[in-house]
């Protein structure tokens, strides 16, 4: 699903511009919640959490030389049982 398809799906009686602002605001709120507490849960849908990846050693696939991969943060999603059951 693209952003435009999501906007059309949630539009209802709103204008397309208002629906786009709503969708953008929803994702901004999700980002703010992840940044503040590291977790965002929506019952019946799932939970987003921030995970920290440790620094590790890797290998350049082109040259085969070892490289250092720095630590980083990523977002993990765990689907709720209700969502899994509806698929």
24-75 confidence digits (pLDDT tens): 999 999 999 999 999 999 999 999 999 999 999 999 999 999 999 999 999 9
**How many domains does one find in the chain?**
2
Distance CA 9, CA 36 (A): 29
Nearest to 55, CA basis, from 70, 43, 73 = 70
CATH of the domain at 52: 4.10.520.10
Domain extent at residue 17: 1-37
pLDDT at 75: 95
Same domain, 57 and 85: yes
pLDDT at 36: 94
| End-to-end CA gap in the chain | 16
């Amino acid at each position: 699903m693209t952003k435009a398809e999501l906007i059309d799906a949630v539009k209802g009686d709103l204008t397309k511009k208002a629906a786009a602002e709503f969708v953008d605001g929803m994702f901004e709120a999700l980002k703010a919640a992840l940044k503040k507490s590291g977790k965002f849960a929506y019952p019946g849908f799932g939970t987003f959490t921030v995970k920290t990846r440790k620094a590790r050693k890797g290998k350049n696939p082109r040259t085969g030389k070892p490289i250092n991969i720095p630590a980083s943060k990523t977002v993990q999603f765990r689907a709720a049982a209700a969502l899994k059951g509806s698929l």
